[in-house]
Structure 1
Amino acid sequence: MAAMASRQEGAAAAARWLEVGAEHAGQRIDNFLIRELRGVPRSRIYRILRTGEVRVNAGRARAGYRLQPGDRVRIPPLRAAERLAPRPDEGLAARIAQAILYEDEAVLVLDKPAGVPVHAGSGYGYGVIEALRSVHPQGRALELVHRLDRDTSGCLLLAKGRAVLRALHRAWREGGVDKGYLLVVHGTWPAGLREVGEALARQGDRVVADPAGRRARTRFRVRERLPAATLLEAHPLTGRMHQIRVHAAAAGHPILGDRRYGERARDRALGVPRLCLHAAWLALAHPAGGRRLRVEAPLEGRLAAFLEALRQGRAG
């Protein structure tokens, strides 16, 4: 089990104490609770952390606390209604199962559909990870290595088990994973603009370019010039929220179909069907053995069709 119950305080309504095993060393407590309390809304989990209902070794713990082997975690009683997770739609679960691009004993790479969040939350009862866990034989072992925005399609990397997850997170932090994106932006991207390095800061549910924010770098390369738009290749060198989208907008060329940072009037005029951002490939040293692994995701159908319409001047 992920953690072993070391004491039960009375009946079913009592708090539980879990003892953390070595396999969860270094995991943030919020992520530990999200997995342990599947179906409980994330807002509720963060609330019980803020109010001190969750304890680690009898003391309060912040959401970012990283667990240590032997830690004892108190989980407060939750009503049954809070623990009921919506069952993923059977059609979505089947679609997700058919979207596996690569799988072996350690990793799985999925071609995430646009419009589907990677996990439950923010008004969504379930996401890609919940749907995949509901149909995959090793569902309980699957862990997201990174995130993609809900409207972004393409390569999503998952680990099978905590040890593999830790190895991949380390590779991610140290720049050992090459991530390539394709995107279509408004206007003519300047030939000499090869990198955008504005620091980024969060403002509510948005991200803005802010010199006082966190360092962020994205490399861009022109793939094709289109009527009124440019097809780009992007390589994020850091991993900030909405990084590619905000850097493209900060350069004066927002991504087509970006409802948060884009230009809606121009999008409507062109008949843009979705956010034109696609995680096209992942390349990394395999966590078991070190061989080079590269996985590519073909352009999603609507995006491919729209790109062809742009080429032929038929968009809009």
Structure 2
Amino acid sequence: MKGERKHRRPESRGPDGDTPARKAIKLSDHRQEQKDEDELLTAADIYFEEGGLQRIHPYFFKFATHAKGRWVGRTILEVFRSEFRDRPPGYYEPAIAQGIIEINNEKVGPSTVVRNGDLVTHFIHRHEPPVTTQPLTIVQETDSGLLIVDKPGSIPVHPSGRYNYNSVVKILEKKHGYRALHPINRLDRLTSGLMLVGLNANVARRMENDLSSHRIQKEYICKVKGVFPTGRIICDQPIRVIAHKLSLNCVDPNEGKPSLTEFELLSVDDDQMHSVVYCRPKTGRTHQIRVHLQFLGYPIANDPLYCNTEVWGDNLGKNGELPLALPPLSELPTPTDTSAAETPAAPSPPPPAPTEEAKPPAGKDKKVNKMAGTTSASLLTDESRATWGPLVSRMESWKTKQELAILVDVPTDADAPRKCDKCSDPFMPDPTPDQLYIWLHAWRYSGPGWSYETKLPAWASGATEHIDRVKYQKESA
């Protein structure tokens, strides 16, 4: 493993227990300090390539938040064990003792009581997942401040979850020297292709208005399961979000939002197992192309969400049909040489609901709590839980199974340590090439007076000779 990049962490200060009074720290000051530290780092400090993947040196990253109303009067150890369940319970007491968890930038003891207005800080030792070494390509930069880039699969647009520096925004900042970026269209992490990025707020606002008013035409290429029918195929099934945490969306005629996608067959593989399909979404729902293709019975062939027989059954959600009954998932694997205290056995339940007086302000409850690493809960209402609940539960169980299977696959070579000596997290195996992307590519974007496109990806090379036959022409719109 490469040497660790040092991300500065302030020396712990103050007594080991509570004090009569604690200096209040502004969250804005903390954020500026974090930003100043980040700006000192160069691409050479952050990135390296090894084993055919782009990697990030592990580092300490400071997350901070002011104490919530329901934390006040509880010990710091109790708060972290009950609220932040992304780590095993045994992690938090040593972390407090080492000063990895602080209050108001001071080292405290596990019995320190949290007070109203306290700034709680957690220096998390981050191990970012590796991504492809395929470069993020600059297609063009316009005089008006519009940046057009070609994003490889495996890279998320924004820092989120376990990804920070291995994101489009950070790569553009650190490797290409851009600042104050405003992504206009957002591609899924596993999706490749064209992205529009504003270099100033004005161009971003104008392009977003063009997108929302359908003055920008989006064209995608995908590879689906089976032999897709010929001719122009239109799917106008409404789509709704079923569970934000799982990024799961489905066709729902009753509660879905209007959605429309046009499809046309480009080519069929020699083995008649897969087809390359041209896609033209007229609306912009999350996972719209993926969900509509699943509904039609031709899901993207390597899509882990919507082409998954373990979750959807052999019918794979065709025509919006949910599986009535499926055999139970195979037994969850158990890492044999990792203690139960260090191994997640199942998804943790959400933190306790806030009390009436501690409820967040309107519009704030949808934000992700970055310190906890958790996401918002399912959007299911009481009325729809009976319909969608079993599917959501099955998808949650399947994802847990995959996470535990990864732990089982951690190498046991004596020359390769299984766990980090700073945070005791197990070193995860590298993603396989087919886990880095799905067969969905944002190929071409067109707007008033402009058009940009990328080369077709290797998996769609057989469709090159057919693409001019179907691509969008402004004069015919």
Which of 232, 246, 249 aligns to 1:207? It is 249
Specify the SS of the correspondent of 2:179.
Answer: helix
The 3 A distance-change label for structure 1 pair 225 and 86 is closer
Which residue of the partner structure matches residue 299 of structure 1?
A: 456
Which residue of the partner structure matches residue 291 of structure 2?
A: 246
Which of 182, 185, 188 aligns to 1:143? It is 182
Q: Distance in 2 between matches of 1:91 and 1:277?
A: 16
Q: Distance in 1 between matches of 2:68 and 2:237?
A: 33
Partner amino acid, structure 2, of 1:245: R
**Shift of residue 116, structure 1, vs aligned partner:** 1.1
Specify the SS of the correspondent of 1:109.
Answer: strand
The 3 A distance-change label for structure 1 pair 120 and 306 is farther
Which of 136, 139, 148 aligns to 1:101? It is 139
Which of 445, 452, 461 aligns to 1:282? It is 445
Deviation larger for 107-116 or 221-230: 221-230
Q: Distance in 2 between matches of 1:48 and 1:180?
A: 46
Question: After superposition, what is the alpha-carbon deviation per residue over 1:145-195, rounded to whole angstroms, capped at 9, x for unaligned?
Answer: 011011111101101111111101100000011111001111122235521
Which of 280, 304, 323 aligns to 1:235? It is 280
Partner amino acid, structure 1, of 2:168: V
Q: Distance in 1 between matches of 2:300 and 2:132?
A: 30
> Does the 8 Å CA contact 1:220/1:234 hold for their aligned counterparts?
yes
- The unaligned stretches of length 5 or more in structure 2 are 1-22, 30-34, 39-60, 71-116, 315-431, 465-477
Question: After superposition, what is the alpha-carbon deviation per residue over 1:58-98, rounded to whole angstroms, capped at 9, x for unaligned?
Answer: xxxxxxxxxxxxxxxxxx88566569999998996x933xx
Equivalences for residues 100-249 of structure 1 within 5 A: 100-105=138-143, 106-126=145-165, 127-137=167-177, 139-192=178-231, 194-204=233-243, 205=246, 206-211=248-253, 212-226=255-269, 227-249=272-294
The 3 A distance-change label for structure 1 pair 48 and 77 is closer
Question: After superposition, what is the alpha-carbon deviation per residue over 1:267-292, rounded to whole angstroms, capped at 9, x for unaligned?
Answer: xxxx994411111111113xxxxxx2
Partner amino acid, structure 2, of 1:242: H
> Does the 8 Å CA contact 1:181/1:233 hold for their aligned counterparts?
yes
> Does the 8 Å CA contact 2:194/2:443 hold for their aligned counterparts?
yes
The 3 A distance-change label for structure 1 pair 208 and 224 is same
CA RMSD of aligned residues (A): 3.9
Specify the SS of the correspondent of 1:233.
Answer: strand
> Does the 8 Å CA contact 1:199/1:216 hold for their aligned counterparts?
yes
Equivalences for residues 260-279 of structure 1 within 5 A: 260-263=305-308, 273=434, 274-279=437-442
> Does the 8 Å CA contact 2:261/2:282 hold for their aligned counterparts?
yes
User: TM-score, normalized by length of structure 2?
Assistant: 0.44
> Does the 8 Å CA contact 1:217/1:237 hold for their aligned counterparts?
yes
Partner amino acid, structure 2, of 1:113: P
The 3 A distance-change label for structure 1 pair 165 and 231 is same
Q: Distance in 2 between matches of 1:158 and 1:49?
A: 35
Partner amino acid, structure 2, of 1:280: W
Which residue of the partner structure matches residue 415 of structure 2?
A: none
The 3 A distance-change label for structure 1 pair 50 and 121 is farther
Q: Distance in 2 between matches of 1:149 and 1:195?
A: 23
| Bigger CA radius of gyration | 2
Deviation larger for 185-194 or 81-90: 81-90
Runs of 4+ with >2 A deviation: 14-17, 38-41, 47-51, 76-92, 190-193, 263-266, 271-274, 303-308
- The unaligned stretches of length 5 or more in structure 1 are 1-10, 18-34, 52-75, 286-291, 309-316
The 3 A distance-change label for structure 1 pair 164 and 210 is same
**Shift of residue 122, structure 1, vs aligned partner:** 2.7
Structure with greater strand share of residues: 1
User: TM-score, normalized by length of structure 1?
Assistant: 0.64
Specify the SS of the correspondent of 1:246.
Answer: helix
**Shift of residue 48, structure 1, vs aligned partner:** 8.8
Deviation larger for 190-199 or 171-180: 190-199
> Does the 8 Å CA contact 2:221/2:440 hold for their aligned counterparts?
yes
**Shift of residue 307, structure 1, vs aligned partner:** 7.9
Specify the SS of the correspondent of 1:125.
Answer: coil
> Does the 8 Å CA contact 1:102/1:108 hold for their aligned counterparts?
yes
Count of matched residue pairs: 239
Specify the SS of the correspondent of 1:95.
Answer: coil
Q: Distance in 2 between matches of 1:90 and 1:131?
A: 12
The 3 A distance-change label for structure 1 pair 84 and 169 is farther
